[in-house]
């Protein structure tokens, strides 16, 4: 009988799904409620020391949404936020971690920690207190993009500097025995070198990734970046579906470091989760999908992933972990002799003309249209780029076939 149980950093989890450090883990009560719904674990909202003032602005969350069909008028595919770390400080969280540990002894509870780059004592204090409170692991936040707290070297400013990140990892490694996870930013040129350096410095696992730094948009009337705080904005963190491709790339880059990975970024469906596993992830962290749909998505995530295990004839996620990694190869290693051409299913084609326009103005002028807009592929001209399939609004109407 297949199982979703995974072993992660010395603990056995009922399923691979953890709530990421974010609004769904804002309070101890919320984490407890998520555990009651079936989440295997959670990462606390990032914990600052008492002396760090955390003053959030309003509003601090904006989104990019599709204008969809009538029944789906607005469909968010990315959030951008300028939220800071937890407004609740270490005292609250350490007490809360102890309570959650007592009430939910089988759940994986990570304490997300942040201090300034040079503040060795603060990092050590936070990690020791989290360990003493009973955290299953500590997650070092080297990755939040909007360093809203002075001085500047917090979050991603640390994750973008190998020397600083390595130094902090060593401090914490020397201070505690509990597992140490480093949460990375993908806003660097190459995560391979960084992850290998941090593994050597004592990181037991990585979380790939935190939100990506962006300016989500600009209000055309007020000229303010979005979200607009009294007419001004800031670089924020991009999350949700749109982040997934960046997070998948990061996961594949970090896999060679040989440490377990907690995949994070855009996981919305069980299919997304499976993709992270195939690229090497052991656990899976979720934030934006819960912001959109609530804790109960855990049921669909688990049911779907379990069915996928069955379909693949696998007993455990371990059997599938990293299976896609050997297929990620340099471009020069791709088989340039494997030729494909487009084909159209005229039964489902709506004669919208999108494929012909795309091929005419951005392709190879290989799609001819009859007077009633029925398209046909000119096989001599079709180069097999695949653009027509991507712009076709009907699923599976156009496919590539081998020639």
Ligand X SMILES: Cc1cc2nc3c(=O)[nH]c(=O)nc-3n(C[C@H](O)[C@H](O)[C@H](O)COP(=O)(O)O)c2cc1C
Would you please indicate which residues are annotated as catalytic (active-site) residues? 144
Nearer Cβ to ligand X (45/341): 45
Q: What is the DSSP letter of 151?
A: S
Angle at 85 between CA 103 and CA 57, to 5 degrees: 125
Residue 145 engages ligand X in binding (rule: CB under 6 A): no
- Site membership for ligand X, residue 195 (CB under 6 A): no
Q: Which of 16, 23, 233, 363 is the binder for ligand X (CB under 6 A)?
A: 23
3-state secondary structure 84-100: CCCCCCHHHHHHHHHHH
Question: Does residue 183 belong to the site contacting ligand X (CB under 6 A)?
Answer: yes
Site for ligand X in 217-246 (CB under 6 A): 237, 239-240, 243
Q: Is 392 in the site for ligand X (CB under 6 A)?
A: no
Q: Restricting to residues 48-67, which ones interact with ligand X according to CB under 6 A?
A: 61
Q: Is 141 in the site for ligand X (CB under 6 A)?
A: yes
Which residue, 25 or 342, is less far from ligand X as judged by CB?
A: 25
Q: Closer CB to ligand X, residue 148 or residue 280?
A: 148
Shortest CB 102 distance to ligand X, Å: 24
Q: Considering only CA atoms, which of 265, 90, 108 is closest in space to residue 183?
A: 265
Residue 265 beta carbon to ligand X: minimum distance, rounded to whole angstroms: 5
Q: Which of 2, 41, 83, 148 binds ligand X (CB under 6 A)?
A: 83
Task: Return d(Cα 340, Cα 143) in angstroms, integer.
Answer: 41
Per DSSP, the residues of 94-143 read: HHHHHHHHHH-TTSEEEEEE---TT-HHHHHHHHHHHHHHT-SEEEEE--
Q: What are the start-end ranges of the E strands in 106-260?
A: 108-113, 137-141, 180-184, 205-208, 212-214, 236-239
Structure tokens at 355: 């494929």
- Per CB under 6 A, contacts with ligand X among 287-326 are 287-289
Question: Does position 85 bind ligand X by CB under 6 A?
Answer: yes
Smallest distance, Å, CB 330 to ligand X?
A: 28
Q: Least Å distance between CB 225 and ligand X?
A: 16
Torsion of CA 11, 15, 270, 263, to 10 degrees: -10
Distances from the Cα of 156 to the Cα of 41, 117, 249, 318, angstroms: 24, 10, 18, 31
- Which span sits near ligand X by CB under 6 A: 5-13, 16-24, 315-323, 379-387? 16-24
In the numeric block, which tokens belong to residue 154? 């917090």
What would the x/- binding string for ligand X be over residues 96 to 135, using CB under 6 A? ----------------x-----------------------
CA distance 207 to 126: 19
24 scored as a contact of ligand X (CB under 6 A): no
Please say which residue, 112 or 283, places its beta carbon nearer to ligand X: 112
Residue 126, token pair as written in the block: 């936070």
Q: Using CB under 6 A, list all residues that contact ligand X.
A: 20-23, 45-46, 61, 79, 81, 83, 85, 112, 141, 144, 183, 210-211, 237, 239-240, 243, 264-267, 286-289
């Amino acid at each position: 009988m297949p199982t979703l149980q995974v072993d992660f950093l010395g603990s056995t989890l009922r399923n691979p799904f953890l709530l990421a450090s974010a609004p769904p883990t804002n309070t101890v009560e919320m984490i407890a409620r998520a555990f009651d719904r079936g989440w295997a674990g959670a990462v606390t909202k990032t914990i600052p020391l008492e002396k760090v003032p955390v003053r959030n602005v309003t509003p601090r969350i904006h989104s990019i949404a599709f204008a969809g069909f009538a029944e789906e008028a607005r469909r968010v595919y990315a959030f951008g936020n300028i939220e800071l770390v937890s407004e609740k400080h270490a005292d609250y969280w350490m007490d809360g971690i102890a309570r959650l540990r007592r009430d939910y002894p089988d759940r994986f509870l990570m304490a997300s920690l942040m201090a300034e780059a040079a503040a060795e004592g603060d990092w050590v204090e936070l990690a020791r207190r989290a360990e003493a409170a009973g955290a299953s692991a500590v997650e070092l936040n080297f990755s939040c993009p909007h360093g809203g707290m002075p001085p500047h070297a917090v979050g991603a400013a640390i994750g973008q500097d190998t020397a600083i990140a390595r130094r902090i990892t060593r401090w914490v490694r020397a201070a505690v025995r509990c597992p140490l996870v480093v949460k990375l930013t993908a806003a660097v040129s190459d995560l391979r070198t960084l992850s290998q350096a941090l593994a050597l410095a004592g990181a037991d696992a990585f979380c790939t990734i935190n939100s990506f730094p962006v300016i989500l948009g600009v209000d055309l009337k007020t000229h303010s970046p979005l979200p607009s705080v009294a007419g001004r904005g800031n670089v924020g963190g991009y999350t949700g579906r749109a982040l997934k491709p960046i997070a998948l790339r990061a996961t594949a880059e970090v896999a060679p470091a040989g440490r377990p990975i907690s995949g994070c970024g855009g996981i919305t469906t069980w299919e997304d989760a499976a993709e992270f596993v195939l690229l090497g992830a052991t656990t899976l962290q979720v934030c934006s999908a819960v912001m959109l749909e609530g804790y109960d998505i855990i049921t669909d995530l688990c049911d779907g992933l379990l069915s996928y295990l069955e379909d693949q004839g696998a007993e455990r996620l371990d059997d599938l972990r990293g299976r896609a990694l050997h297929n990620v190869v340099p471009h020069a290693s791709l088989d340039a002799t494997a030729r494909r051409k487009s084909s159209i299913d005229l039964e489902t084609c709506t004669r919208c003309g999108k494929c012909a326009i795309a091929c005419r103005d951005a392709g190879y002028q290989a799609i001819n249209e009859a007077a009633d807009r029925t398209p046909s592929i000119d096989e001599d001209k079709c180069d097999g780029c695949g653009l027509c399939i991507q712009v076709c609004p009907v699923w599976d109407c156009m496919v590539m076939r081998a020639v």
